[in-house]
Amino acid sequence: MTQVEVGRGLEALFKPRSIAIVGASEDVTKIGGRPLQFLQKFGYAGKIYPINRKAGTVQSLPAFASVTELPEAPELAVVAVPPDSVLDAVKECAGRGVRAAVILTAGFSEMGEKGSALQAEIGAVARSTGMRIVGPNCLGAVGVPDKAIATFSVALESGLPAAGHVGIVSQSGNLGSYTMRLASERGIGISRLLTTGNECDVDISDAIASLALDAGTSVILCCMETCRNAAKLQQAMELAREAGKPLVVLKVGVSEAGSAAAASHTGALAGSDAVFDTVLRNGGAIRVPSIEQLLEVGHALSVVGPARMPKANTVAVLTASGGFGVLLADAASAQGLALPKLKQETQDRVTAVVPFASPSNPVDMTAQVSSRPEVLAKVLNAVAEDSTCAALILQSANAFHLPRLRDVFLAALEQVRKDHPNRLIILCCRAPDDVRARLNAMGYPTVEGIDAACSTLAALVRFGSRSAPSPTGGGLGRGHEREALSHDAFATEASAKAALAAAGLPILKETIATSRDAALAAARDIGFPLVLKIVSPDIAHKTEVGGVVVGVRSEAQLREEYDALLSRVQQKAPKARISGVLVAQMAQGGTELILGSKKDPVFGPVIMVGLGGIFAEVFRDVALQVAPVSEAQALDMLRSLKSFPLLDGARGRPKADVAAAAKAVAALSRFAARHAEDVAEIDVNPLVVLDAGQGAFALDALLVPEQKGLQ
């Protein structure tokens, strides 16, 4: 069986020297007719081989009855035959030495069990022969510079996009082709389009990786519905990162698993879409919420290039109107961008040119800058030379539509680009297509809306300031041997904490007592104050049945509370099996966190940490990472919380033992990775973090077993 590295073997999709159309049709409205029409219409220079059982000619080209009759092995085959004939066609192509095949035909896994079985056989051909297969049920691929067209998309009926360096990959065919058409209308040059359909072989990760490896692509736009292989996606993102190619992802859909009721607090907080968000961020991808932002960010990245990428979130806003300046400042702040005050020297330079300007930030240049190019250029240069800000946004409502003003702005911007070739300046403006193309050629991204301009800059900042992946941790569970876990560990809080303690998660002293006398003996050993908790495999939420007593401070109180606790539980849960009463040391003071893990169906165990106690699901202030994580990564997770100031000594509070909390997070993540086969969820609520140097301790824990055979 052939083992293919992620993204490899797809060159034949985009730069084939010859293409066979299996199921070629004279009718250009059919999926077997349209690719052949497009190849001839747009001037594909390679050999085209129509395959039709009747042979003869198809669309004026000599046809062949089968691939075996061809004078050479075509590098690419486009398969457009009925579903029952696809497997034979694929086998024939593989036997003839075809390097890659695109199956346009539908009627496979999307149609049920029979179609799924047939699709699996097609995938097996790819794995056994090494021929890469795209689809089935896909819209195919386009290599724009080489005019290599393996699609029936109506998006090409109006013309082939201009060649450029932006590649588009999509699981949805229509979404991918629509993105290509909109990008073309936006003036974005396209290198490749690849839609993956049902993904019997080539999946979205292969598609991303292939463009990361492609010399003709510098920016990758991705429309993603799901991920079928977590490790492959991580490898693909690593290839894009290593190549310095921005990957912009529009992830559509929130899985039902993410919104369904969960057995633990952790399960409710760590939704599937949030996990995707974490994985994409870890991989250096830029996630966007809409197709409009996908295009705006893609356009900006294609214009900006690596030299102008911002390294910080600071921006200087320049307008000829105070009102627009306020709007931009508000929009920038909403996107997490900062508008620091410009240096006094810069402000003096601005007012020396325009005395009535407001030079702080936003910079209100007033309408005077529209009078002469040198006035605008001097203001722009003054701000561009101020290192306070990583980027500039220049806003103009009407200048590029009025000939006199347009000439002033174009001349000034040409001078500024000459003076500052690597300075990022985004133009928030409307402009005719020809003017916009001229501005883009100078290296100025043009964005129409105020919100769009700020969200685009924020996306560039996320890419420009992204950190390198940690050499340890966050490896999607790799490098950790799976271990079986005793079934007893799932029974009660006490057994769960014992299992976690053995893995390095700290707990306070505690003992299970099966009588009042045993509880008194345990109390003398542990010391007061104490907490009493019912121990039962049938009671997950102890407080709901009165099964918890906090603040037991004497033997007399213990005798009383012990009997009362058992009485309450017997009344509210008469059928529950009682294993005893947990007598535990009581933590005093500290800050409560919630800590846990949830097994994501794609990415495996995901670690979650956030503000604990009753606030966990109210504020939803949580940080997620795929397990395992290092202590350094765990510390970063804690620091990312909005509530971190509570741990860091806010308003005179003592600093908490953050290092101990990070150590606990890392220990739990290793446990989750090792026991991924058996544990679906882990809930530690709360993890109390004491003052610096005093540690962090798990006060309660729940292990939820994996329901094997139900996934």
3-state secondary structure of 371: coil
Kindly report, residue by residue over 535-583, the tens digit of the pLDDT.
999 987 888 999 999 999 999 999 999 999 999 999 999 999 999 999 9
> Which residues, 6 or more positions from 478, have their beta carbon under 8 angstroms from its beta carbon?
231
Predicted confidence band of residue 436 (pLDDT cuts 50, 70, 90): very high
- 708: pLDDT strictly greater than 90: no
- 252: pLDDT strictly greater than 90: no
Over pLDDT 90: what percentage of the chain?
82
Structure tokens at 288: 């966007």
CA 698 to chain centre: 31
Kindly report, residue by residue over 494-508, the tens digit of the pLDDT.
999 999 999 999 999
**Residue 291 contacts residue 179 (beta carbons within 8 Å):** yes
Q: What is the pLDDT of residue 253?
A: 75
Preceding peptide of 362 cis, ω within 30°: yes
Strands 701-705 and 679-689, by their bridges, are: antiparallel
**Residue 217 contacts residue 245 (beta carbons within 8 Å):** yes
CA-based torsion, 605, 611, 616, 622: positive or negative? negative
CA 72 – CA 328 distance, rounded (Å): 61
More confident residue, 543 or 439: 439
3-state secondary structure of 485: coil
More confident residue, 260 or 694: 694
More confident residue, 104 or 481: 104
Kindly report, residue by residue over 599-622, the tens digit of the pLDDT.
888 899 999 999 876 665 666 788
CATH architecture of 305-464: 3-Layer(aba) Sandwich (3.40)
- 456: pLDDT strictly greater than 80: yes
CATH architecture of 509-585: 2-Layer Sandwich (3.30)
Q: What is the pLDDT of residue 387?
A: 96
Q: What is the pLDDT of residue 270?
A: 47
CATH architecture of 591-705: 2-Layer Sandwich (3.30)
pTM for the model = 0.89
Q: What is the pLDDT of residue 467?
A: 67
What is the pLDDT averaged over residues 192-208?
97
Over pLDDT 70: what percentage of the chain?
93
Q: What is the pLDDT of residue 265?
A: 43
Strands 76-79 and 18-22, by their bridges, are: parallel
The number of beta carbons lying within 10 Å of the beta carbon of residue 15 is: 17
What is the pLDDT averaged over residues 121-137?
97
Domain map (residue ranges) of the chain: 11-253, 305-464, 509-585, 591-705
DSSP per residue, 151-168: ---GGGTT-PPPEEEEEE
Average pLDDT, the chain: 91
CA 635 – CA 626 distance, rounded (Å): 14
| 3-state SS track over 439-481 | HHHCCCCEECCHHHHHHHHHHHHHHHCCCCCCCCCCCCCCCCC
- 293: pLDDT strictly greater than 90: yes
CA 473 – CA 630 distance, rounded (Å): 5
> Which residues, 6 or more positions from 618, have their beta carbon under 8 angstroms from its beta carbon?
none
Predicted confidence band of residue 256 (pLDDT cuts 50, 70, 90): low
Q: What is the pLDDT of residue 480?
A: 54
Adjacent-strand bridge partners of 585: 530
Q: What is the pLDDT of residue 487?
A: 80
- 259: pLDDT strictly greater than 70: no
**Residue 505 contacts residue 667 (beta carbons within 8 Å):** yes
Q: Give the H/E segment covering residue 548.
A: strand 548-552
Q: What is the pLDDT of residue 368?
A: 85
Q: What is the pLDDT of residue 100?
A: 98
CA 345 – CA 57 distance, rounded (Å): 76
Q: Give the H/E segment covering residue 238.
A: helix 230-242
- 471: pLDDT strictly greater than 90: no
> Which residues, 6 or more positions from 468, have their beta carbon under 8 angstroms from its beta carbon?
none
- 97: pLDDT strictly greater than 60: yes
Which of 435-439, 466-470, 630-634 is predicted with the least confidence, judged by mean pLDDT?
Answer: 466-470
Q: Residue 505: which region, alpha, beta or left (left: phi > 0; alpha: psi -120 to 50)?
A: beta
Q: What is the pLDDT of residue 468?
A: 61
**Residue 267 contacts residue 296 (beta carbons within 8 Å):** no
The CATH code belonging to domain 11-253 is 3.40.50.720
Q: What is the pLDDT of residue 21?
A: 98
Structure tokens at 251: 């992830």
Kindly report, residue by residue over 231-250, the tens digit of the pLDDT.
999 999 999 999 999 999 99
Q: What is the pLDDT of residue 372?
A: 86
11-253 shares its CATH topology with 591-705: no
